[in-house]
Amino acid sequence: MKIGVLALQGAFREHRLMIESCGQEAVEVRKTSELDQVQGLIIPGGESTTIGKLMCEFGLDKAIIKRADEGMPIYGTCAGLILLTKTIIGSNQYSMGLMDIEVQRNAFGRQVDSFEVDLPIPVLGYKPFRAVFIRAPLIEKVAPNVGILAQYNGKIVFARQGNFLASSFHPELTGDKRIHQYFLQMVKENVN
Ligand code: GLN
């Protein structure tokens, strides 16, 4: 099983290392030919406008949407979540529109640039997950077919819709592999 990590900008190296530490092969994806080799894709955190622009420039936007329509699992973290979303509140920047969610960018304001919390995530088991938020977006609204996997202060920060998984926070920075393992399980189920 090969897992792609979109490597145009942002925190892609950390995701690659996490995938490898889970015992799977990771491929940095910058071209459509690299996307063709993978069975699942992670879109990392970074700057969503930059990643979106580069995706379109390299033809990866259409190629990713095609694979998504065919059922390939995709996990977006932070800026990656923004790129998966249908509605970005107050912005007309590019996004793929794959998840029926409404997202607010930089939702914690400038004062609270980044912080960490112990987040209960029932699908991962009893132990809370140390979640790192960096200029994070929030999911303000979800369609009925979107599953809410975690909330922080009453706001949605982790959600799944079929083959799409999205988190406001960065799970690749603390060494806790459970979210990457959860995503790998989605990929395994899709491949089998
Ligand atoms: N604030 C960034 C954006 O809107 C996301 C931050 C991140 O990915 N850590 O694109």
**CATH number, position 151:** 3.40.50.880
**pTM of the full predicted structure?**
0.97
Ligand 1 close to Cβ of residue 45 (< 6 A): yes
Range of the domain at 176: 2-191
Ligand 1 close to Cβ of residue 124 (< 6 A): no
The number of folded domains in the chain is 1
Angstrom distances, CA of residue 99 to CA of 86, 102, 139, 173? 6, 9, 11, 25
14 a catalytic residue: no
- What is the 113 CA–ligand 1 centroid distance (Å)? 10
Ligand 1 close to Cβ of residue 48 (< 6 A): yes
How many Å apart are CA 149 and CA 134, to the nearest integer? 19
Per-residue pLDDT of the chain (192 residues; tens, 9 = 90+): 999 999 999 999 999 999 999 999 999 999 999 999 999 999 999 999 999 999 999 999 999 999 999 999 999 999 999 999 999 999 999 999 999 999 999 988 765 689 999 999 999 999 999 999 999 999 999 999 999 999 999 999 999 999 999 999 999 999 999 999 999 999 999 987
78 a catalytic residue: yes
Q: DSSP state, 170? A: B
Catalytic residue, candidates 20, 70, 102, 172: 172
